[in-house]
Amino acid sequence: MQSSDGAMYAPQPMPQPVVNPGEFVIGATHLDHGHIFGMCQGLVGAGATLKWVYDPDPSRVAAFRQAFPGVRVARSEEEVLDDPEVKLVAGAAVTNERAPLGLRVIEAGKDYFSDKAPLTTLDQLEAVREATARTGLKYAVYYSERIHVEAAVLAGQLVEQGAIGKVLQFIGLGPHRLNAPSRPDWFFRKELYGGILCDIGSHNFEQMLYYTGSSDATITASTIANYAHPEWPELDDFGDAHIVTDNGATGYCRVDWFTPDGLNTWGDGRTFLLGTDGYIELRKYVNIATNDGPDHVFLVDGNGEHHIRAHGQVGYPFFGELILDCLHRTENAMTQAHALKAAELSVVAQRRAVDLTRR
């Protein structure tokens, strides 16, 4: 396929549902973060049957039922975990409760799909590694800024096709709008949300490993700060980190809560992939000052400067792959080692970070 501006690339076919109704039954428990909607939409779009929802807060359950009208309301988490028809449980609990929930799901004999960050401490990481190794069950993670963004999906396909040669470096900018009044109390308590590099940083560590094709990395520098929000002293409003991967690439990310009100979306997320034969820039959610929607892929290679619109072009193959992985006990969507290595880097970067403002 040739884009209108001459870039040669071959997007994969748009993903289709991989199972028929009733063939892959899931439940959703703990709706503390709105990501649960995207997680369930992705799975349902790939064919999953959403049978149950549980949350202690009735207003959250009501909002969830509006999005998924056929779902049954469970009276307890146990009612979901005890249903032998349920193959996978999706959860978006408070961040430091995600691992305990996941361990309960796994002990109930089901696969688990966690919102990111999937855990907040190295003790949790060790317990999750032990449980997944012992049972063979999955602790999958919704690293949405790659798997649920078409620009990022297309970038992965371009890299795989060799569009920029060997990937030498990843840079990710992950600014987010704070919108403090919409945030729950736990969002501002570090033990609960895990710190900014653990929380929104985790998207970037996952992408560093993915795009550079590496399986491990060393955190070479990381910082956090609370520059402008003294009313929430435990909020990190800034963080950044530099890594060196086990295959000799580098990665850098900056995350922050400083999206200004004038931006027409929640954040100007960017990705830069430097390769031996070209580079890719993603303007994921906005191409600033153009009013031209999300999912912009810029590819500069030996032939020219190409602007490719990924919106509506590639979809989100992760979800169908995850369903099939659960059914066939494969690891095509994402390996367990990869999902947890990204979590490990996130926690280690956070723990070792130099605090620039609260020393």
Considering only residues 72, 189, 242, 352, which one is a binding residue for a second copy as defined by CB under 8 A? 242
Q: Minimum CB separation from a second copy for residue 272, in Å?
A: 7
User: Count residues contacting a second copy (CB under 8 A)?
Assistant: 53
Q: Minimum CB separation from a second copy for residue 350, in Å?
A: 16
Cα-Cα-Cα-Cα dihedral sign, residues 153, 158, 162, 168: negative
| 298 is an interface residue for a second copy by CB under 8 A | yes
User: What is the Cα–Cα distance from 175 to 178, expressed in whole angstroms?
Assistant: 9
Q: Minimum CB separation from a second copy for residue 215, in Å?
A: 16
Nearest of 59, 91, 97 to residue 189 by alpha carbon: 97
CB 197 within 8 A of CB 353: yes
Please give the backbone phi and psi of residue 253, each rounded to the nearest 5 degrees, phi first: -140, 150
> Which residue type, as a one-letter code, is found at position 17?
P
Provide the mask over 189-228, with x wherever binding to a second copy is found by CB under 8 A and - wherever it is not.
Answer: -------------------------------xx-x-x-xx
Q: Minimum CB separation from a second copy for residue 129, in Å?
A: 28
Give the pair of three-digit tokens for residue 182.
């919409």
| 281 is an interface residue for a second copy by CB under 8 A | yes
| 166 is an interface residue for a second copy by CB under 8 A | yes
Give the pair of three-digit tokens for residue 238.
């800034």
Residue 221's H or E segment, with its range, is strand 217-225
| 99 is an interface residue for a second copy by CB under 8 A | no
3-state secondary structure (DSSP) of residue 84: coil
User: What is the Cα–Cα distance from 193 to 23, expressed in whole angstroms?
Assistant: 35
| 2 is an interface residue for a second copy by CB under 8 A | no
3-state secondary structure (DSSP) of residue 91: strand
Q: Minimum CB separation from a second copy for residue 305, in Å?
A: 4
Beta carbon nearer to a second copy, 129 or 254: 254
Beta carbon nearer to a second copy, 121 or 169: 169
| 171 is an interface residue for a second copy by CB under 8 A | yes
| 240 is an interface residue for a second copy by CB under 8 A | yes
> Which residue type, as a one-letter code, is found at position 196?
I
User: What is the Cα–Cα distance from 267 to 257, expressed in whole angstroms?
Assistant: 9
Give the pair of three-digit tokens for residue 61.
């359950």
Q: Kindly list the residues in this chain that would bind a second copy in the complex (CB under 8 A).
A: 5, 166, 168-169, 171, 173, 175, 220-221, 223, 225, 227-228, 238, 240, 242, 244, 248-250, 252, 254, 256, 258, 260-264, 268, 272, 274-279, 281, 286, 288-289, 298, 300-307, 354, 356-357
